[in-house]
Amino acid sequence: MENFPDEVDRGLREAGWTPGRQVNAEPWLASFEAEGLQRHPVVSAFLAEFGGLAVNISGPGISRAREPFEFDPMLCLGEGDRFLEWGEEIGKCIFPVGVHDEGRFFLGVDEYGELYLIETWVASFGRMPEAMNNLFLGVQPSVIDDGSG
């Protein structure tokens, strides 16, 4: 069970999360397997717990603005190749889990629980549960590859 700081816990609960929450992640997992992505136990557990949540936050954060995010992998449908390519580039298996900043960026989780921000570059919010805190509280993700290589 995740143990989040009060502000993060409260915000997730407002979005519909509860400790031990379980939703059926199978349709999301199957949709992306059809695009060539491979499910792994970490993404299955992540989506079962957080799938379907939309967090509408804004305002100043710790090192960047706090921006809304939604854990709905279907918002990434058709972008499987982007996740495959970035995963290959950094040597991880990144699976789509949703969008950040109203669809401006994609979110993905690897087999180690690391949460990524993906566009034409890739950055990391860190590993869960710290990654959720960083995403929620407005911590700038660390750029892993700026896409210029």
> Residue-wise pLDDT tens for the chain (149 aa)?
468 999 999 999 999 999 999 999 999 999 999 889 999 999 999 999 999 999 999 999 999 999 999 999 999 999 999 999 999 999 999 999 999 999 999 999 999 999 999 999 999 999 999 999 999 999 999 999 888 86
Residue at 27 is within a domain: yes
**Total domains present in the chain:** 1
Residue at 64 is within a domain: yes
Residue at 101 is within a domain: yes
Look up the domain containing 84 and give its range.
6-145
pLDDT given at position 2: 63
Residue at 22 is within a domain: yes
What CA–CA distance (Å, rounded) separates 34 from 69?
A: 25
Residue at 93 is within a domain: yes
pLDDT given at position 71: 98
Residue at 88 is within a domain: yes
Phi, psi of 125 (to 5 degrees): -90, 0
Residue at 1 is within a domain: no
